Amino acid sequence: LFRREQLEDELDAELRFHLDRLTDANLAHGLDPEAARRQAVLAMDGIERRKEECRDTRRVAWVENTARDLRHAARVLRRSPGFTAVAILSLALGVGANTAIFQLLNAVRLRTLPVADPHELANVRIVGGHGGMGLNDGFNSEFTNPMWEAIRDRQEAFSGAFAWNLTGFAIGRGAESQFVTGLWVSGDLFAALRVVPERGRLFSPADDRRGCAPRSAVISHAFWQGHFGGSDEVIGATLQMFGRTFDVIGVTPPEFFGLEVGKHFDVALPICVAAVTGDLLDLRHVWWLTVMGRLKPGWTIARASEHLKAISPAVFDATAPAGYASNAAETYRKFRMTAEPAESGVSRVRETYGRSLWMLLAMTGLVLLIACANLANLMLARAAAREREVAIRVAIGASRSRIAFQLLAESLLLAGIGAVIGAAMATFVSRAVVAFLTTPREPLLLDAPMDWRVFAFTAATGVITCIAFGLAPAVRSSLIEPGAAVKSGGRTTSGGERLVVKRLLVAGQVSVSLILLVLALLFVRSVRNLLTADTGFRRDGIVFASFGDMSGARGTAAEMKARLLTTQAALLEQVRSTPGVESAASSTQFLLTGSSWTQGIRLEPGRGSSKFTYVSSDYFRTLGIPIRAGRDVNDYDAADGRKVALVNETFVQQYLGSGAAIGRSIRTIAEPGYPEAVYDVIGVVGDTKYADLREGNPPIAYVPLTQHPNVHSLKGIVIRASGSLPDVIAEVRRRAGLVSRDIATGFDVFETHVRERLVRERMMAWLSGFFAVLAAALATIGLYGVVAYMVVSRRSEIGIRLALGATTPGIVWLVLRETALLVAIGVVVGVGLSLVAARSAAALLFGLSPHDVPTILAAVVLLAVTAGLAGYVPARRASKVDPMEALRCE
Amino acid sequence: VSKPSDLVQGTLDLLILKIIALEALHGWAISQRLKQVSGDVLQVSDGSLYPALHKLEQEGWITATWKPTENNRRAKFYELTRAGRKELERETANWQRLSNAITGVVKLKEA
């Protein structure tokens, strides 16, 4: 490769030598010198081609050619900086957007957990889930502790089985307490995952025995750095949690974040320590653990599933919760377990955003497609301008494949540079998206690095783009007939045909950008619908205050309830007297925060279910929910008095039918901790949404908090404030401290909270809107380019028309007709494709059908107007053509 | 056009190897010798000789050195390598087999 020049010289000399000898021989035959030379050259049958054939036999020829082509391409591109900049910028945007979205997909979907041999990990689940039975704590809460213990003692599929739960721990006391991400782990979790401590030691099975002393904690690398400043004296340092003092015994390595992708744990405690919070370890209806295991050598997921299915009856018989009505207990006994691959851990993010990300990847793909179409058009135009050059090179013997490759080299270079810049941009974009999705309540800690998958994806995108916009022009050019091209003297001969290709490309761009516009408008309108949806209550000025009792005091259930209700009443009293608070009420549920409590009810005949919310008086006034009939909860609804309930209108319609609702009774179906009870209906209230803004209005029954069957924690308080919210919050926090030093408080401004919960919808609206605008802009540029090109190539025709008396509007219309035709074709195809595309987005929409006619119309009008402008500018210019000048050019 | 149509495919290699097996020669001499020994029956276009030579060189069957010619111009002389000699034997044997077979067939038709 490096001796290239020398080899070239030798080749040259060798062939020249032969040529000279041949000429001499011809001279000897009596030809005159000139004829002798010509005969010799003819005999050689194209010296340059022979040279090329000789070069081809050298193995490195292609490397050499590629290097030379790239150098040549770089020179050509440097000569037209404007074109190059536009091309690289649009490619970088396209590739960057694609790579960024792919990085996120890769991070939440494809990457494996950073532990040894992650493919051996399996997640134990109940086939079809547990159907919301009992109390669920957090995402992926698949098992109760008794079930986990039964599985651990019976399973033979895993060399190490472990359980965990991701939750919040409060560190410190009272007002100084702070929330950290806590991880309950079984004793063999770290051993089974083969996590090697960075400092100290991690838990072993000996740390997780029933009745263990709450003494040791393991912390994450990030927490060690953040909370302890990375100090070497961290081992033996203490943390205050659950009113107890814990010693830090070890630090996990930096790459280990836990098992849920998108979350990073701070502090880990053995599961046995959960006994300090109550009888969590023995409760058979509180589902809070995720169970996983590392397969024994030689075991497959399928074999483990069989095994888990086989031990299921024993596990569920041994752990059946008491207190359920008979058929719920029957359902429980019929549960069957299975194993699922868990090499990438579990992730709420994955389930929430997986679909959205695929959707966005498709959209960015379309944007890139439009960018490619634009470039293809530009490359075609450039190829046309270079037709003569190519023709000459074909004539002197360059092979067609070499010419095609040389032109492709330009595309390759553009795509390469675009991909590199795009990849660099992608990291910023994906970080920005992660930042957008992070809310104070749900921090999203997602590592989206450039790993080999992302790299392969970017490279593949680059190559595909290059082929998409570069191949067709390159092949076309290489097929040029040298004679015709040279003869035409630089004027294009195949203009008409090429214009057809250009028109098709532009029509395609119009249809693709219509798809993106329709999708973007659908997402934007969804967000609007969600934000303006009728929730059935007044949303402004609402603050949710939650309280936690950190005293760690214990007692019998009745004592606990009495004490907690007294504290609750004192808190409510303090809140109500806070300046700026209009009204306030205690409640077990905060609306639209995702939390939910459903209980079965017995009907005559049959059974149904309803949401149950336990409230104090003034709840309806505070939220502005109208009481349609009957009365509110009041102080006379005592724990031991007549059990009463208010129901909403949906409840009445579904279960009570026509006739007076008040005075009817509701009989609940027993559940652990919630024995069967009969409530008399004392009032009917307006409908509201419940756990989620995206859902409809469910039947809800409201029961006085005093009649709650098992109060074991402080409940929240709903506040309607008229004053400034930060002032009210600060004052309530202070007053809560007056009630007891051991009360931790937390606040959520309702409107902020709603917006945060709609973060996915807002992300889709913003990003799809951005991509759609980008697409429309690119398509408009493409359209403008083609129309302008057409105007130039028909300049003389237009000149003649004007000379013969065509009017200015006539010419404008002539050109616009062209634009209109292209747009019309694009729109017709685009609408068809949009209908298909929108259907796949249906699950992400709210309050409108994917085939929403106004949305599609709006998109069409928007695109038509933009396209009209893109066509009007060159059309106007065409009508200004000076006929004399145009004709003189001829 | 570029293929020596009057040569059986692949025999050009054999001819070149055979010719330079006797002595190192440059391209021009090879082409002359080819015409000479075959009595002008085998026509090799002047151009197609060089790609063939370069291919043989690339295969490692022949090597080239620059030497002065009889009239003192420098030219590239090709000679056989050890591997080339082996290749020549192989090719010759192949050719013998092939021509025997063809002769047989042709005679059969005459009979």
Question: Which tens digits make up the pLDDT trace of A317-376?
Answer: 888 887 777 777 888 888 899 998 888 888 777 777 888 888 889 998 888 888 888 888
CB-CB under 8 Å, A56 with B46: no
DSSP character at residue A320: P
pLDDT band at A261 (very low <50, low <70, confident <90, very high): confident
Mean pLDDT of chain A: 84
Shortest Cα–Cα distance, A472 to chain B (Å):
29
**The pLDDT value given to residue A880:** 81
Residue of A13, A18, A58 with shortest CB distance to B46: A18
pLDDT tens-digit profile of A121-145?
Answer: 999 988 877 776 777 766 677 889 9
Cis status, amide bond into A726, omega within 30 of 0: no
pLDDT band at A486 (very low <50, low <70, confident <90, very high): low
**The pLDDT value given to residue A267:** 94
Shortest Cα–Cα distance, B23 to chain A (Å):
19
CB-CB under 8 Å, B31 with A17: no
CB-CB under 8 Å, B47 with A45: yes
Q: What is the largest CA-CA distance in chain B?
A: 57
Q: Which runs of E-coded beta strand occur in A588-677? A: 598-602, 607-615, 627-630, 644-648, 665-668
Vertex A563: Cα angle to A559 and A568 (nearest 5): 145
Inter-residue contact A616 to A586 (CB < 8 Å): yes
**The pLDDT value given to residue A309:** 93
**The pLDDT value given to residue A493:** 44
> Which of B2, B28, B32, B55 best tests the A interface by mutation, with the highest count of A CBs <10 A?
B28
**Residue B70 near chain A (CB below 8 Å):** no
Which residues in chain A are contacts of B70 at CB distance < 8 A? none
pLDDT band at A616 (very low <50, low <70, confident <90, very high): very high
**The pLDDT value given to residue A570:** 93
Between A174 and A253, the higher pLDDT residue: A253
- Is the pLDDT at A605 greater than 60, yes or no? yes
Neighbouring residues of B65: CB distance < 8 A, sequence distance ≥ 6: B24, B76, B77, B79
Q: Which residue of B has its CA nearest to A61?
A: B58
pLDDT band at A829 (very low <50, low <70, confident <90, very high): very high
- Is the pLDDT at A61 greater than 90, yes or no? no
**The pLDDT value given to residue B40:** 67
- Is the pLDDT at B42 greater than 80, yes or no? no
Cβ burial, residue A131 (10 Å; 0-12/13-18/19+): exposed
CB-CB under 8 Å, B27 with A14: yes
Which residues in chain B are contacts of A13 at CB distance < 8 A? 74, 76
**Residue B2 near chain A (CB below 8 Å):** yes
pLDDT tens-digit profile of A655-679?
Answer: 988 778 898 889 998 887 788 899 9
What is the rounded distance in angstroms from the CA atom of residue B16 to the CA atom of residue B31?
A: 9
- Is the pLDDT at A685 greater than 90, yes or no? yes
**Residue B4 near chain A (CB below 8 Å):** no
**The pLDDT value given to residue A498:** 60
pTM: 0.72
Give the pairing of strands A581-587 and A716-721.
antiparallel
**The pLDDT value given to residue A628:** 92
Inter-residue contact A703 to A645 (CB < 8 Å): yes
Between A890 and A671, the higher pLDDT residue: A671
**Lowest mean pLDDT segment, chosen from A172-176, A525-529, A854-858:** A172-176
Only one residue has tokens 């029954």, namely A701
CB-CB under 8 Å, B28 with A53: no
Q: Which residue of B has its CA nearest to A58?
A: B58
Residue of B28, B54, B55 with shortest CB distance to A18: B28
pLDDT band at A494 (very low <50, low <70, confident <90, very high): very low
Shortest Cα–Cα distance, A399 to chain B (Å):
13
> Which of A16, A57, A399 best tests the B interface by mutation, with the highest count of B CBs <10 A?
A57
Give the pairing of strands A216-219 and A267-270.
antiparallel
Inter-residue contact A665 to A680 (CB < 8 Å): yes
Between A25 and B3, the higher pLDDT residue: A25
Give the pairing of strands A244-251 and A216-219.
parallel
Going across the sheet that includes B62-68, the strands are B25-26, B74-80, B62-68
Which residues in chain B are contacts of A49 at CB distance < 8 A? 2, 47
**In 3D, which of A250, A270, A142, A136 has the Cα closest to residue A196?**
A250
- Is the pLDDT at A563 greater than 80, yes or no? yes
CB-CB under 8 Å, A17 with B76: yes
pLDDT tens-digit profile of A95-110?
Answer: 888 888 888 888 887 7
Residue of B1, B50, B55 with shortest CB distance to A14: B50
**Residue A18 near chain B (CB below 8 Å):** yes
Average pLDDT over residues B48-55: 80
Determine what percent of chain A is predicted with pLDDT higher than 70: 94
Inter-residue contact A550 to A743 (CB < 8 Å): yes
> Residue A128 is encoded by which pair of tokens?
């079809």
CB-CB under 8 Å, A14 with B76: yes
Inter-residue contact A782 to A370 (CB < 8 Å): yes
pLDDT band at A174 (very low <50, low <70, confident <90, very high): low
Average pLDDT over residues A489-501: 55
pLDDT band at A451 (very low <50, low <70, confident <90, very high): confident
**Residue A49 near chain B (CB below 8 Å):** yes
Give the pairing of strands A286-287 and A216-219.
unpaired
What is the rounded distance in angstroms from the CA atom of residue B47 to the CA atom of residue A174?
A: 96
pLDDT band at A288 (very low <50, low <70, confident <90, very high): confident
Which residues in chain B are contacts of A59 at CB distance < 8 A? 58
What is the rounded distance in angstroms from the CA atom of residue A583 to the CA atom of residue A722?
A: 9
pLDDT band at A308 (very low <50, low <70, confident <90, very high): very high
Which residues in chain A are contacts of B48 at CB distance < 8 A? 45, 50
Only one residue has tokens 């050059």, namely A389
Which residues in chain B are contacts of A15 at CB distance < 8 A? 50
> Residue A77 is encoded by which pair of tokens?
């591109």
pLDDT tens-digit profile of B78-88?
Answer: 888 888 888 88
Residue of B45, B58, B66 with shortest CB distance to A45: B45
> Which of B43, B50, B58, B70 best tests the A interface by mutation, with the highest count of A CBs <10 A?
B50
**The pLDDT value given to residue A247:** 93
Average pLDDT over residues A178-196: 90
Inter-residue contact A151 to A124 (CB < 8 Å): yes
Q: Which residue of B has its CA nearest to A15?
A: B50
DSSP character at residue A801: H
Shortest Cα–Cα distance, A53 to chain B (Å):
6
Which residues in chain A are contacts of B27 at CB distance < 8 A? 14, 17-18
CB-CB under 8 Å, B26 with A17: yes
**The pLDDT value given to residue A490:** 44
Cβ-Cβ pairs closer than 8 A, A with B, add up to 63
Average pLDDT over residues A58-87: 77
**The pLDDT value given to residue A443:** 73
**Residue A13 near chain B (CB below 8 Å):** yes
What is the rounded distance in angstroms from the CA atom of residue A252 to the CA atom of residue A230?
A: 12
Inter-residue contact B74 to B66 (CB < 8 Å): yes
**The pLDDT value given to residue A484:** 64
Letter for the amino acid at A417?
A: I
pLDDT tens-digit profile of B6-17?
Answer: 455 567 788 888
CB count in 10 Å sphere of residue A421: 17
ipTM greater than cut 0.85: no
Inter-residue contact A220 to A169 (CB < 8 Å): no
Only one residue has tokens 């934007």, namely A524
CA A209 to chain CA mean position, Å: 40
Letter for the amino acid at A251?
A: V
CA A3 to chain CA mean position, Å: 53
Q: Which residue of A has its CA nearest to B77?
A: A14
Only one residue has tokens 């290489």, namely A478
DSSP character at residue B38: T
Give the pairing of strands A644-648 and A598-602.
unpaired
Span between the terminal Cα atoms of chain B, in Å: 37
What is the rounded distance in angstroms from the CA atom of residue A418 to the CA atom of residue A37?
A: 50
CB-CB under 8 Å, B76 with A58: no
CB-CB under 8 Å, B54 with A57: yes
Shortest Cα–Cα distance, A252 to chain B (Å):
59
Which residues in chain A are contacts of B1 at CB distance < 8 A? 45
Shortest Cα–Cα distance, A394 to chain B (Å):
16
Inter-residue contact A145 to A288 (CB < 8 Å): yes
CB-CB under 8 Å, B55 with A14: no
DSSP states of A482-547 as a string? HHHHHHTTTS-SSHHHHHHHHHHHHHHHHHHHHHHHHHHHHHHHHHHHHHH---SS--TTEEEEEE
Question: How big is chain B, counted in residues?
Answer: 111
CB count in 10 Å sphere of residue A375: 30
CB-CB under 8 Å, A59 with B75: no
**Lowest mean pLDDT segment, chosen from A166-170, A308-312, A622-626:** A166-170
What is the rounded distance in angstroms from the CA atom of residue A298 to the CA atom of residue A21?
A: 77
Cβ burial, residue A456 (10 Å; 0-12/13-18/19+): exposed
Determine what percent of chain A is predicted with pLDDT higher than 90: 27
CB-CB under 8 Å, A10 with B66: yes
> Which of A3, A9, A15, A17 best tests the B interface by mutation, with the highest count of B CBs <10 A?
A17
**The pLDDT value given to residue B1:** 35
CA A394, A397, A399, A405 dihedral sign is: negative
